[in-house]
Amino acid sequence: MEISLTTPALLFPAISLLLLAYTNRFLALANLIRSLHARYMTEKDLKIKAQISNLKKRVILIRNMQLLGISSLFFCVVSMFTIYQEYQMAGSIIFGFSLVLLMISLLLSIVEIQISVKALNIQMGDIEK
């Protein structure tokens, strides 16, 4: 399959918005961790410690999501450069690799969202009792 220089460029807006969403999730979690940490230092509640542990896993997932998204964008640019240099086959392969990285990033996003929902369900379970 032959791709043009504009084909990888189509991913730029999508990856940029995705990275922005990942960054927003990271910042929200960082603020939550800081506030929970401050509460734990005064209360020493084990539930807070468990929440912080859960949030730590989510932060690691988001870091990996960001890393894969940035790598996808990088290889997208590399594929554009190789296509510009008229190395169509190499450009196509690199673009395919970029897509794979983006898919893995999205899969990690699904895992992170599921962990988030599970934590919210546990939190709401306290209210229902």
Six-digit token pair at 64?
A: 């990996």
Longest dimension (CA), the chain: 65
d(CA 119, CA 28): 15
pLDDT digits (tens, 9 = 90+) for 74-128: 999 999 999 999 999 999 999 999 999 999 999 999 999 999 888 787 777 767 6
Average pLDDT over residues 25-33: 90
Closest CA to 69 of 31, 25, 30: 25
The identity of residue 105, as a single letter, is S
* Rg, Å, the chain Cα set: 20
Higher pLDDT, 98 or 51: 98
pLDDT at 11 over 90: no
